[in-house]
Amino acid sequence: MRLIDFFDRIYIINLPHRTDRKEATIKELENINIPLIPGRVEFFPGIRPDHKEPFHKLGSKGCFLSVIAMLKIAQSEKSRNVLILQDDITFSPYFKDNEAELLKKLNQTEWDIVQFGYMPEQHCQPQDSKFCSFQVFNESLIGAHFFAVNGKSIDQFLEFLETLIQRPLGDPLGGPMPIDGAINVYNWQNPDITRLISVPVFGSQRSSYSDVTPKWFDKFVILRSLVEFLRKLGIARSLKRLLSSTSARNRSGE
């Protein structure tokens, strides 16, 4: 069994002007033998709002509204389930070898939301790359670049998301927030749902310029081009960790 067989809909959120991300994601899909199929596997034109309010960031709002729009389509089509990817997705090198076993286990499990991708530092990862499983997870998790919603849960989750954006920012019951935060709050406020995470992480975020959380150097074309070159070489994140470590030592007076 493969992703394309298991999920009725596979969406990849992509802002139309980010052709660089679209091309890179097509290569990622080709690497795991998933073709683009209209109505089944396709890019969703990401929503780019005119203003960020009531969210903290414009990109977070656009992503949130895009997820709502995709869920509404799945709802109207009475889809059995829907898989949502971000256009900076990069599949783990061992995903292809474990795909069939992973989906076989998911097919035998009760679930409402499953996150295949998240920040791996937040959860202990197995050393054996052949190990794959799902775990019920009820804690805070960062990352919504590779997640799925079961058809039986779409109505409730969609209603929850639409309720969040009607509340003010910082509302104690939950207001506008990034989509990964919304998944956390939805889980906590609905303890009867089953939220799963894959172990290990089967998808991470490719290093590239982000419209959701742009860095200061991304505002300058020349610097952005240089950093993008370093990102492709896999150097940018190493430099970022080095600079962060140096900054921390300087603050501590070492």
Q: Does residue 206 carry a pLDDT above 50?
A: yes
Distances (CA, A) of 154 to 22, 81, 158: 26, 8, 6
Q: Where are the domains of the chain?
A: 3-205, 216-252
CATH code for the domain defined by 3-205: 3.90.550.50
Between residues 253 and 196, the one the model is more confident about: 196
Looking at residue 123, what is its pLDDT?
61
Instruction: Encode pLDDT of 20-35 as tens digits.
Output: 999 999 999 999 999 9
* Average pLDDT of the residues of the chain: 85
Q: What's the pLDDT score for residue 158?
A: 98
One-letter amino acid for residue 131 of the chain: F
Cβ 92 vs Cβ 203: under 8 Å: yes
Output the 3-class SS for the chain. CCHHHHCCEEEEEECCCCHHHHHHHHHHHHHCCCCCECCCEEEEECCCCCCCCCCCCHHHHHHHHHHHHHHHHHHHCCCCEEEEEECCEEECCCHHHHHHHHHHHHHCCCCCEEECCCCHHHCCCCCCCCCCEEEECCCCCCCCCEEEEEHHHHHHHHHHHHHHCCCCCCCCCCCCCCHHHHHHHHHHHCCCCCEEEEECCCEEECCCCCCCCCCHHHHCHHHHHHHHHHHHHCCHHHHHHHHHHHHHHHHHCC
pTM comes to 0.81
The pLDDT of residue 249: 47
Q: What is the pLDDT of residues 65-102, one digit of tens each?
A: 999 999 999 999 999 999 999 999 999 988 888 999 99
* pLDDT bracket for residue 108 (50, 70, 90): very high
